[in-house]
Structure 1
Amino acid sequence: MRAKKISTNVTVDDINSAREFYQDFLGLQTEEFNLGWVARFTDVESGAHVQLVTRDLTAPEDSAMSVHADDVDAAYREAQRRGYEIVYPVTTEDWGVRRFFVRAPDGTLLNIVQHRE
């Protein structure tokens, strides 16, 4: 698998309430997307970004990070081959991503995701 980008997922109670801190104080002005339960805020010049998550819409647990993969299906097969715990099977979500959740040996939960091109 090749990781194209890694996004930190920060759990918040309410995205709208957290917006001022992340946009105004940290300067992550661009709201790339906001699905109501997850939103990404980015600095256009540096590329610095964070995803705010209230509660994952379909997965049984919230992930600590999202790894944007070049081939999510190949990554899924490799995670299975290595015997890693799959917490959420590879799924094509209604909002346009294909993803799965895998637990790293240290216990960190990762959302391995590929966006539609």
Structure 2
Amino acid sequence: MRATSIMTNLHVADVEAAKGFYTGYLGLSTEEFNLGWAARYVSPETGAMLQLVSADATASEDAVISVLTDDIEGAYSQAKQLGYEIVHPLTTEPWGHRRFLVRAPDGNVINVGYHSD
């Protein structure tokens, strides 16, 4: 698999309540998306980014990072071939993101996705 981007998923109790600190104080002022339970904030000056996540809306577990790839089907096949536990199957989510969640050998859950935008 080839990762094209990796973003930290920071668990927060409430995305709306938390975003002021990250957008104001840390300067991650551009909101790239906000699903209510997950939102991505970026600094337009530096490109630094962070995703705030309260609870995954469609998967049974929350991921610690999100990894984007340009070959989601290949990444999914490779994860299965290597025997990694698939926590959430390859799915095109209602918000348009195609993804799956896989458990790393250390126990961390990773969100692997592709977005055509």
Normalising TM by the smaller chain, what interval?
over 0.9
Residue in structure 2 matched with residue 96 of structure 1 by the alignment: 96
Alignment RMSD: 0.8
| 1:23 alignment partner, SS class | helix
Distance 1:102 1:69 in 2: 14
**Alignment deviations for residues 2-53 of structure 1 (CA, whole Å, 9 cap, x no partner):** 1111110011111111111101111101011101111000001211010001
State the Cα distance separating 1:78 from its structure 2 match. 0.2
What 5-or-longer segments of structure 2 have no aligned partner?
none
TM-score where L is the length of structure 2: 0.97
**Residue pairs, 1:23-102, within 5 angstroms:** 23-102=23-102
Distance in 1 separating the partners of 2:2 and 2:38: 24
Paired amino acid for 2:46: S
Three-state SS of the structure 2 residue aligned to 1:20 is: helix
Unaligned stretches of 5+ in structure 1?
Answer: none
Secondary structure of the 2:24 match is helix
- 3-state DSSP of counterpart to 1:4: strand
Residue identity (%): 55
Q: Provide the secondary structure at the position in 2 that maps to 1:22.
A: helix
Moved segments of 4+, more than 2 Å: none
Corresponding residue for residue 18 of structure 2:
18
CA apart distance, 1:116: 2.1
Q: Tell me the CA shift for residue 84 of structure 1.
A: 0.6
Aligned residue for 2:90, secondary structure, equals: strand
Report the TM-score, using the length of structure 1 for normalisation. 0.97
Inter-partner Cα distance in structure 1 for 2:35 and 2:20: 17
Across the two proteins, how many residue pairs are aligned to each other? 117
State the Cα deviation string for residues 59-89 of structure 1 (Å, max 9, x = none): 0100000001111110000001100111111
Cα distance between partner residues in 2 of 1:69 and 1:56: 20
